[in-house]
Structure 1
Amino acid sequence: DRCVPNHCEHGGKCTQTWDSFKCTCDGTGYSGATCHNSIYELSCEAYKHLGKTSNYYWIDPDGSGALGPLKVYCNMTEDKVWTTVYHDLQMQTSVGGSSLEKLSVLQLNYSATMDQISAITSSAEYCEQFISYVCKMSRLLNTPEGNPYTWWVGKANEKHYYWGGSGPGIQKCACGIERNCTDPKYYCNCDADYKQWRKDTGMLSYKEHLPVSQVVVGDVDRPGSEAKISVGPVRCQGDRNYWNAASFITSSSYLHFSTFQGETSADISFYFKTSASDGVFLENLGNTDFIKLELKSATEVSFSFDVGNGPVEIVVRSPTQLNDDQWHRVNAERNVKQASLQVDQLPLEVRKAPTEGHTRLELYSQLYVGAAGGQRGFLGCIRSLRMNGVTLDLEERAKVTPGVKPGCSGHCTSYGMYCANGGKCVEKYNGYSCDCSRTAYDGPFCIKDVGAFFEEGMWLRYNFHSPGTSMKDLVSRTLLSSADPEITAPDLSLNKEELSFSFSTTKFPCVLLYISSYTQDFMAVLVKPTGNLQIRYNLGGTKEPYNIDVDHRSMANGQPHTVNITRNGRDIVLQLDHYPPTSYSLPTASDIQFNSPKALFLGKVIEIGKIDQDIYKYNTPGFTGCLSRVQFNQIAPLKAALRPTNASSHVHIQGELVESNCGASPLTIPPMSAATDPWHLDSASADFPYNGQAIGDGVNRNSAIIGGVIAVVIFTILCTLVFLIRYMFRHKGTYHTNEAKGAESAESADAAIMNNDPNFTETIDESKKEWLI
C-alpha cells in the first residue's frame, strides 16, 4: 500500500495510482505534491508588500509547519502593520457571587489556538492587549501588601499579578506607576475600596506573557460589591522574521546552524540581493547525501541534492540579470514525489523522483549559509530564510560572526516604488518607510487623501512667510525659487509652480483657491456662475488677468473633481479629471514671474487691499463643499492644518475644519488578479469582526438573527409570487392552438413581440389537430 505510511501532509487525502500515489489537498489550506506548502502568506506584513489593504486575511505563521492557518485582521493604515486576533469575551462583562474560597473565572476563547497566537507574538516587534477593571467596592490587586484578589492567566497558563499599564514583577496598576491613584496610599484605584465607581485600565505589553486566556476575580461577594471586566483583542505590530537579514561582505564569510532536518520533505525559501555573478547561498552535507542552493551565474539559480540515487540538479534561468542589487525570492522544495525550484514569478521547474530508490535525505554536518568547503561564498544580502517553516535568526548569528553584518540596506531600491504621490522612501535597519511630509497625502504609502469639508463662510489661509522664520528656511522647505536666500520675503518671486487638488461642490459661483502676493500678482481657481471652471492668472504686464475657461461640463455637480495645473515660464498645462492635458500660453505682454507670493486661501479670500472684481464678486458667501489633496509646490496647506507639522504655524482657520477625503477615489497599489490571488477575503465573510466586542465561535449572533429575518421575508415574498402567478393563470389551457392574435389585443409582452416580429417563431405540436377528451 503506497499510502502507508501516508506522505500526504496537513490532512491531505492519499490515493494510489498505478506506480505511485496522489495527494488531494482540497480544503486543507495547503498545496503541492504532498500538501506541504501553505497557500497563505506568513503574516500581515507579507500581504502589505503584495499591495493589500486593511481587511481580514488568512495567515500561516509557520508556513509548512504543523500549526495551520488562522484568520486575522490586518490593519495597514500605519507604517507598521497591526495584526489582530479576537476572542469571545464581551466588553464590560459583569462579575458577581465570588469569594476568596470560590473565585469567578472568566475564560477567553480566541479565534486561534494558543500555539498559533504564540507564533504571531514571537515574531512580532511589539504586542499589546487592553485590560480594564471597573469596580465599586471591589478590590483588585490588594496593594501595596497582601495577596491579590484578581489576577490574569497568560501564555503557558502562568498567573500574573500586574495590571494594564504596569509590568511583570510589579504588583501595581497604571495609576501606581504614574503616581496618580485616587487614594495615594494604594497602587490601584480599585484597591481604595470606594463605594463610587472607579476603574483601572491600561495596556499589557509584555508580549512573552500574552495573550490573556483567563481573568480570575475574587472580591465581589460583599453586599454592594460590583465589578466589570473588559479585555481587548491581541494586537501585534511588525514582523521580525520578514526583515530578519544578514549581509555577507567577504566571499569567505558564512553563518552556520544546526543540521537541517528534512529527511522526506523539505522546503527552503528566502530573499537575496547581490551584485556578484555567482556564490553559494547555503549547503548541508551528509556522508554522500547533500543539499545545496547557489547562484550559478548572473541569470541562473541552482538547486541540487542527492538522497542516494545520484546527484540531481534543477536550474532556473532568468531572462534578466539576477545580480541587479534588487530583491529576488527563491523557493525550493523536495519530497518523495518530486523536487521543484522557483525564482520570483518565473515558471516553476519540476523534477520527478524515481519510482524506486532511496527517498530519505540523511545529513550530518552543520548547515552553512554562505561559503563552505572552500567554495566561493555569497556576496550580498539574504533575508527571511525559512526552512520547513522555521525562520533562521540570521541577524543574531551575524552579530558574532566576522565578515557578516546583521541587517541589510538598500530596501528602497526594491520597495521605493510603493511610496506614491511624491513620497520619499526612507531606509531602515529592518525595512523601509515612506516619508509623506512633503506631499498632500498620508498613510504608510502616501496614498490616503487628506482633506476637509468647508461650510459656508469658512476659510483657511496659509502664509508663505511667518514672523521669526528666515527666508532661507522658507526656501528650503517650500522650494520657492530665489536667487538670493537672504533677501526679504516681499522680494521672493516664482517663474514656475505646480498646483493640484480635488474638490466637490453643488453651489456656485465660488472661489476654490486663491494665491495672493505683496504686489498685484495673483492666481485663482474659480467656479463660474455657469458651473464651469476658470483659472485666472495676473502676473503683470497686461491690463486684464489671463483667463483659462474649462467648458467640459459643470463642475458643481457634487462629484469629486481633480485639478492639476503646472506652469513653467509662459507655458501652462492643465489637466482636469480623466481628460487629456491641455496646454496654454500666457500672452506675450505678460510677465512670467509671480512676484512676492504672500498667502494661499481656501474657501474664501480674506485679503487686505485691492482685489480683482470677479474674485470679489464670487467671494460671497464663499465655498461650500469639500477640498482634498491640496498641494502648491511643496506646500500642503490642508495637511498642515489637520496634521501637526512644522508648517502648522503658517495656517490660520476661520470656522471648524472637519476632515474628509471628499469621496475622492483612493489611490491604491494595483491589486493582483483573482486568478493569482487566493488569499483575499471580503470583510463580509470574515469570521471575527470587531466592533467593541468579540464574537463567540466566530459568528456574529446579531448578524445571524438579521440574516434569518431577511431569509424569512424573502421566502414569504417568493411564496406570495408563486400564488399570484397561479391565480393569474388559473383559466389558461394546457393545449396549443394555431390561432393568431394581434399586438393590440395581446395579453402579455411575449404575445405582442410575436405579433410584431415576423422573424419570431414558436414551436408548436407536431399534430395541429385539436382533440377533445
Structure 2
Amino acid sequence: MSSVREAWGAGVINFDGLGVISYRFKVKKMKIIKDVIALRFKTSESEGVILHGEGQQGDYITLELRMAKLLMQINLGSNQYGSILGHTSVTTGSLLDDNHWHSVVIERYRRNVNFTLDRHTQHFRTNGEFDHLDLDYELSFGGMPYSGKPVGAGRKNFKGCMESINYNGDNITDLARRKKIDTSSFRNLSFSCVETHSFPVFFNATSFLQLPGRANHDTLSVSFQFRTWNPEGLLLFSNLDDGTLEVSLEDSKVGVHLNVTQETGNQRVDLSSGSGLNDGQWHAIRLVARENFAMLTIDGEEASAVRSTSPLTITTGGTYHLGGYFLQTLFPPSQRSFQGCMQAILLDDQPADMHAVEKGIMGAFENVSLDMCAIIDRCMPNHCEHGGRCKQTWDSFSCTCDGTGYTGATCHTSIYEPSCEAYKHRGRSSDTYWIDPDGSGPLGPFKVNCNMTEDKVWTTVMNNLPPKTAVTGSSRERRTVLQVNYSASMDQVTSITTSAEYCEQLISYSCRMSRLLNTPGETHLYSPPTREHITEGGRLFCSSQSQNVMCNSY
C-alpha cells in the first residue's frame, strides 16, 4: 500500500533505486579545501549510496547507508608508496531505515570535519597529510554513476526520498526541478515522496497475532520479514490438519519443524538456515512445503535455501499464530514468544490485510502494537569502554571485553598492574609484563621489560631496530634515516617518564674511515625523541646501536 506526500517548499526528490542526480562541476577538476553538504532523507531500505564523488588521483567522498547506519568515507589523498594512507571512515546513527526524516550536515575545512546526523555531531580529522579534496567532473546524489570501475560493485543506489539537498551553496533540488543538472538516468523523476507503507507489527513477550490462511490445502506457503535483537523466539506456529508447523529463531538461525502424523507413522522434517539474524536488521523468510518437498529461504538468497525431499504429506489447518502461542496443544512449540517486529506477511500466498485486523474484521491479536516497530539500539551510543564489543537483547546490553585488557560490566577496569613496581610488590621477578599506567584512563596497556634489582626497578620500552644497523653511502644530498619505532606510543612512554626518578635513551655510533664529529660542516647529527638522522660527507661506514628507553624508580 503506497501513499504520496506532495513536496513542500524545500523541495523533495523521490529516488527509485535506479536514477542518479549528477551535479557537474564548472571545471573538469576541482581542488576543494572547504565543503558544506546538507540534506534530509527518509527510507525503509538499510543499504544505499546517498552521495559520491571521486578523482583520478584516488581522492573520494562517499556517504551511504550500510546496515541502516550512516557511513562516511573520505580520502584526501594517499601516495603510491603506501606510507601516507588517507582513507578515513566514520559511522554514525542506527536503525535509519525507519521511514522517518533524518538530517545530515557535513562541514569540512582541510582535514577537519564535522559530521552531523540529527543534531548529533562527530568531530574528526582525516587521515594522511593532504588537505584538498580533488574531484573530477561531478558529484552524484542517489548512487554511484557507472564509470566502468569496480569501486561501486555491489553497492546499491539509494531508494527513498531526499529534500533540501545543498552542496557548497547550490540548491541541488532546485537545480533538478529547473533541469539545470543531469537527471537523465531517472525513468520518471518525481518531486513528490512516494512512500511504501509496510504496516509493521510490534511484539513483546506476551503478544500473539492470529491470522487466517487456507484450510485443507496440500501446499503450505508462508513469508514475512522480521527484526529482533534476541537469538531465540517463536516466529510462527500453526496446527495443521494432521500435525504442526513451527518456525523459530534458534541460536540466531531460523529453524523450521514440521511434524505430521499419518497411518504409516510420524513424519518429521527439520530445516535450518541463516546466521546472526538477531542483528536488528530486517530479514525475510520464505517457506514452501508440499508433498515430499520443503524449502526454506532467508533474505531471498539462493545460497541460503535449504531443501528436504523426505516423505511428507501436507494438509493446511487454515490458522496461523505469529509472535506467540500460549494455547494448550498436544504438540506445543519449543518456544512460546517473540520480542521484535514483523511486516510484509503472506500466508498461503495471500497478503495479510492488517487494516482489517486493526478494525477487528479478521484475525485476532493480544498485546501487539500495530503499524509501528518500537525497536531501539541499546549499543548506540556504545557504552562499552576501551574497544569492548557491545551485544544486546531486546531488554538489555552487555559488553564483551575479550582481548581489550579490561574487565567489568563496561570494560572499565584494567586487568594489568600500573607499573613494574606494582608487579615487584606482588612478588614478581624480572620478566616481560603488560602495564597500564593510567588504569581505566584512555591510554591502553602496553608491553615492557621489568628488571627487578634489589634497590631499583628498571622499566624498559623496546624498539624495533636490530642490535646493530649498518649505514653506508650516506651523503649531504642523500641522507640515511633510521626510524625508531617503540612498542608504545609517545603518550604511553610519557606516562612512564613523568613518574620515574631517572630515564635514559642511548644511541651509540661506531664509525671507521669517517670524519664523523671531526669535520664541522660535513657531518650532521640530529636526534629527536623518536628517530635518528645520520648524514656524513665522504666515505662512511657506521653501525648504529640503539638501546631502548629505560626508566628506573626506587
> After TM superposition, is the score higher than 0.5?
no
Whichever of the two has the greater Rg, that structure is 1
Whichever structure has more strand as a proportion of its residues is: 2
Whichever structure has more helix as a proportion of its residues is: 1
The TM-score, its normalising length taken from structure 1, stands at 0.26
The TM-score, its normalising length taken from structure 2, stands at 0.34
